[in-house]
Structure 1
Amino acid sequence: MKYFISAIMILLAICKTNAQDIFSNAKTGNVEEISKFKKEINAKNAEGYTPLILAVYHNHYTATKWLLENGAQPDLQDQSGNTALMGATFKGYKEMISLLISYKANMNMKNYNEATALIYAAVFSKTDIIKLLLENGADKNAKDNRGNTALKHAQMQNNEEAVKLLQ
């Protein structure tokens, strides 16, 4: 019985390690290793991050593209409700945003504070990304949980260029 329990514990540890490999490989952009875990492509780690969210956040374009080509869902949310598009917006990764848009990422998805990618772009003064999101259907009238639109956030940041785009 003692050996049986030990064997099960080892097996569980191996399974847990393998399940985590897709996440560590997504962080480093290792497509060859990611490809070994196709079944876990939309899995979430303990923080709620998907491999796609991690690849996007760490700016691994090739890994992000591979994940999307192989069925990664662009609108899955982490524990805060943030998506890969929101992460790319926060980080200012314009190419990543364009890639996610080409795979039908929802421009108007809201996180648990009801913020959208466009609101993030306004909060963090990413004017070029505001323009890109608007050109691709982002709703400039969406409000966060405080009732603020992207325009209101741009005004609070004194970002005149963004204000003009959002009016």
Structure 2
Amino acid sequence: MKSIFDFTGSVTAGDIERFITKGVDPNVKDDKGRTPLMMAVCYGYHSAADALVKAGASIDAQDNYGNTALMLAAFAGMHRVIDKVLSYGPNLNLTDSRGGSALTSCFENSFLSDDVRESVIEKLLKSGATPDQMALAIPIIKNLSEKVNTIRLSHA
């Protein structure tokens, strides 16, 4: 790998450990404010993500737009990745530069099916996420308010 941000190929925990051993800060950011952990999460490299967290990577680091690793995983609707990020104990209620949270992120991807959105919402709420105003407004617009309210009430 040329850089700790090069996640175009298969990245292993060993690759990350070599960078850390050479003194690379696990919280270094690229020009968009993304951390190596955010990139590992986006590409689904679980062992690399584990190695980064073990090396001190901040799970709640935010990019230039305020996105966290959890928000990126929720936007993509990637359940295994969301589970991995949740296992690190992130702040579920951080907001991005527009005031949206991880709950909001899953609504913003118009390519996700309603079923995927609902399951991501349910997972985040079960984990302790608090619905923010933006997350509550989007389902109304997308005609999912009854489903979201049912899920929310069942976990209150």
TM-score for both structures, normalised by structure 2: 0.81
The alignment status of 1:166 with 2:143, answered yes or no, reads no
Distance 1:86 1:77, change over 3 A: same
* 1:56 maps onto 2:47 in alignment: no
Alpha-carbon distance change, 58 to 166 in structure 1, aligned in 2, over 3 angstroms: same
Q: Which residue does 1:43 correspond to in 2?
A: 28
Q: 2:141 aligns with which of 141, 156, 159?
A: 156
The answer for the alignment partner of 2:122 in structure 1 is: 131
| Counterpart among 88, 95, 103 of residue 110 in structure 1 | 95
Aligned residues: 143
Give the Cα–Cα distance (whole angstroms) in 2 for the partners of residues 67 and 27 of structure 1. Answer: 17
Matched residue SS, 1:113: coil
3-state DSSP of counterpart to 2:72: helix
Is the CA contact (8 Å cut-off) linking 1:90 and 1:120 kept in structure 2?
Answer: yes
> What is the DSSP-based 3-state SS (H/G/I as helix, E as strand, rest coil) of the residue aligned with 2:124?
helix
> 2: distance between equivalents of 1:63 and 1:84?
13
CA RMSD of aligned residues (A): 2.1
Q: Which amino acid in the other structure matches residue 166 of structure 1? A: R
Alpha-carbon distance in 2 for matches of 1:89, 1:27:
23
Q: Is the 8 A contact 1:25 1:31 kept in 2?
A: no
One-letter code of the match for 2:40? Answer: A
**Counterpart-to-counterpart distance in 2, 1:27 and 1:66:** 17
C-alpha distance in 1 between matches for 2:25 and 2:9: 15
- Sequence identity, in percent? 31
Q: Highest relative contact order (Cα 8 Å, sep 6+), 1 or 2? A: 2
By percentage of residues, which structure has more helix? 1
- Alignment partner, residue 9 of structure 1: none
Unaligned runs of 5+ in 1: 1-17
Structure 2 equivalent of residue 29 of structure 1: 11
What letter corresponds to residue 16 of structure 2 in structure 1? I
Deviation (angstroms), 1:33? 2.1
Query: Which blocks of at least 5 consecutive residues in structure 2 are unaligned?
Result: none
What's the TM-score, normalizing by structure 1?
Answer: 0.76
By how many angstroms is 1:26 displaced?
Answer: 7.8
**3-state SS of paired residue (1:42):** coil
